[in-house]
Structure 1
Amino acid sequence: MTEMDALSRILSSTLIEAVPPEVSAFAAQMLGACRPLGVLFYGAGMRSDDLDALLDFYVIVDDMADWEWRNCVIRLAGQYLPPNVVYVRQTIDGRLMRAKVAVMTIDQFTRRAGPASYDSSIWSRFTQPTRLVWVRDTVAADQILVAVRKAVLTAAWWAACLLPGPARPAEIWRHLFSETYRNELRPENAGRAASIIEGRADWFEAILAQSWSQLGFPVRENDAGGCYMDISRVRLLKARRQWRQMRRLGRWLNAARLIKAAFTFENGALYLADKIQRHSGLAMRLSPFEARHPLICLPCLLWRARSILRRS
């Protein structure tokens, strides 16, 4: 991207915003000798700067083989049903930090960021403020920026299509994120979508205005300060039919991804044990065998988790 438009400038500035040094150190230590295109940091942990929270990273690679997988089956699973997820714990400056790390290729990212994708989970995540905490070089940074920009344009398109009537930008984004949660089988409360926008309303308003400008449809406003994109009724009905198809197929996709995670989520037993401790304050100790073979031990682990939570 030789010359940035206004939307790209906003997104580029956001990607390079500072993060706590512990987060950068975590990403660098996690990668070791691996050299992906980049590492994106996003989610509730990023918004709150809470280093004790479960952090969320996306590692963007050229090829799934670029990441060191436990076995080739997991790597192949990531080729056909991305992303693959790894649970990572590391000690940084004496502090134990935890992260859920998703790994995906740049081609997978770019395809799923577009409006034709039936997977709303990718473009909805990267419409939210994101930090590029590790990048291989300027070429890789440009590739990631192009993919993030595509995700934002896709989200802005669907925000316009799903809008029930003129609304202020913050309401438009809240409505969109609530709709995408329904696609993902995620039981989020009504305040979750609002928490994403909280404190960044001006940023979301700016990317909506620039995205709608890029999409090329007229933008209308009413006397109450609400706005909407003027899309023909035929095109709007077609988009909403597509969204209903996306919802049906998206739920199957996410169900399949959850089943895959049960077999391929690396360090999943440690993730379960840490989650139990964070929510209950009670430790769930794992034997070395349980840590290495969570699927075999799953019935026993779930029974122990249930007993611990009932005591808390």
Structure 2
Amino acid sequence: MSDVIKEILIGELTTAVPEEVAQFAESIAGRLDRQPLGILFYGSVLRDVDPEGIIDFYVITDRPESLGSHALARMANRLLPPNVYYMEHKTEGETILRAKVAFLSLRQFLRRSTLFTLDTTIWARFCQPVRMVWVRDGVSADCLLQAISQCVITASCWAALLGPEQGEAAQYWHNLFAHTYAAELRVEKKGRSHNLLAGKEERYRNLLKAAWRRAALSYRSEGGMLYPQLTASARSKALRNWRKVHAFGKPLNIARLIKAAFTFRDGVAYLLWKIQRHTGKAIRVSTFEKKHPLLTLPLFLWRTRHVRSRKM
């Protein structure tokens, strides 16, 4: 692993988080029959501390796991990972923290962190800053570090393949995130990637160049401009492959939404909060829609798409 990638990621993974967040993660680990390898904290609440926000946790396990021992849930996490649950934690000061908790095995994580996966869910998120808020032991920490570094390398390679022939590092990342948002069923404000990079431009620039070197992707650097050395045929092949990723992304996320209806308590309320948080637009749903999310899913998806199209 490139020393630059390793140094940046270790620094981020080991950065302290609020004590109540660490306690929340420890309580999740304590609920499981088998200790996970680790628990990762990422997402909007990590970037912008918000006590009213929903914390994003990923619980990384040795094998496909679920919360509780229900056989159907375990099977669902093998066939269509991850299983996602809504959880709450009351702090000593009586503050209630809320979290979206996803369960994924290390093998599942690794399979979705390579350049050959059609699923952008993992590498597009974990090329961003993340904290290791609970870890089983040093060996597990090393495994997670390696897995996250692979996400950075995959994201950086796609950034070069999909990006301009020349440009500043930030241009490659903005273009990449625009592609991943479009490939997933995600509602984001236009220019959302600028929020991701704000104040962290050097981090993303250093990781991009280090990952290109790690992947043996040649490039020139002049001033603030980068020139990845890619052939026209390589770019053409990458675009064909990305069309497959794009075609696969939305059906995959719809399937996950349907599955989440069985595991994510009050999932519709969470989705409405998420859409309003990211777009500033509220979607109103009836009591019937809240009680029957599967039956009314097509209408909900149409409304989501409509909100997104107005923001583009």
Same fold by TM-score greater than 0.5: yes
Deviation of 1:49 after TM superposition, in Å, equals 2.1
Q: Using the alignment, how far apart are the partners of 1:274 and 1:242 within structure 2?
A: 33
CA spacing shift, 1:95–1:63, aligned 2, 3 Å: same
Q: Which residue of 1 aligns with 2:134?
A: 134
Q: Which residue of 1 aligns with 2:246?
A: 247
CA spacing shift, 1:214–1:108, aligned 2, 3 Å: same
Question: Which structure is larger by alpha-carbon Rg, 1 or 2?
Answer: 1
Q: Using the alignment, how far apart are the partners of 1:69 and 1:114 within structure 2?
A: 30
CA spacing shift, 1:265–1:243, aligned 2, 3 Å: same
Determine if contact 1:160/1:228 at 8 Å carries over to the other structure: no
Q: Which residue of 2 aligns with 1:307?
A: none
Identical pairs, percent: 40
AA in 2 matched with 1:118: L
- The answer to whether residue 178 in structure 2 is matched with residue 152 in structure 1 is no
Determine if contact 1:166/1:226 at 8 Å carries over to the other structure: yes
Cα offsets for 1:5-41 (capped at 9, x unmatched): 3312221121111111111011112222421110000
CA spacing shift, 1:275–1:186, aligned 2, 3 Å: closer
Deviation of 1:260 after TM superposition, in Å, equals 1.6
Deviation of 1:266 after TM superposition, in Å, equals 4.4
Bigger mean CA offset, 73-82 vs 225-234 = 225-234
Runs of 4+ in 1 over 4 A off after TM superposition: 269-280, 293-299
Q: Using the alignment, how far apart are the partners of 2:276 and 2:179 within structure 1?
A: 31
CA spacing shift, 1:105–1:268, aligned 2, 3 Å: same
Q: Using the alignment, how far apart are the partners of 1:149 and 1:86 within structure 2?
A: 26
AA in 2 matched with 1:233: A
Determine if contact 1:88/1:267 at 8 Å carries over to the other structure: no
User: TM-score by structure 1 length?
Assistant: 0.83
AA in 2 matched with 1:57: F
Number of equivalent positions:
290
CA spacing shift, 1:25–1:246, aligned 2, 3 Å: same
Q: Which residue of 2 aligns with 1:257?
A: 256
Cα offsets for 1:95-152 (capped at 9, x unmatched): 1111111111100000000000000121000000000000000111111111101111
Quote the RMSD (CA, aligned, Å).
Answer: 3.1
- The answer to whether residue 205 in structure 2 is matched with residue 202 in structure 1 is no
Q: Which residue of 1 aligns with 2:84?
A: 85
Q: Using the alignment, how far apart are the partners of 2:274 and 2:149 within structure 1?
A: 33
- The answer to whether residue 31 in structure 2 is matched with residue 43 in structure 1 is no
AA in 2 matched with 1:44: S
Determine if contact 1:170/1:205 at 8 Å carries over to the other structure: yes
AA in 1 matched with 2:148: V
Q: Which residue of 1 aligns with 2:95?
A: 95
Q: Secondary structure at the match of 1:227?
A: strand
Q: Which residue of 2 aligns with 1:306?
A: none
Q: Using the alignment, how far apart are the partners of 1:51 and 1:295 within structure 2?
A: 29
Q: Which residue of 2 aligns with 1:75?
A: 74
Q: Using the alignment, how far apart are the partners of 2:69 and 2:264 within structure 1?
A: 10
- The answer to whether residue 51 in structure 2 is matched with residue 26 in structure 1 is no
AA in 1 matched with 2:150: K
Determine if contact 2:6/2:149 at 8 Å carries over to the other structure: yes
Q: Using the alignment, how far apart are the partners of 1:20 and 1:52 within structure 2?
A: 14
Q: Which residue of 2 aligns with 1:53?
A: 53
CA spacing shift, 1:124–1:52, aligned 2, 3 Å: same
Deviation of 1:217 after TM superposition, in Å, equals 2.1
Q: Using the alignment, how far apart are the partners of 1:272 and 1:162 within structure 2?
A: 30
Determine if contact 2:2/2:210 at 8 Å carries over to the other structure: no
Q: Secondary structure at the match of 1:166?
A: coil
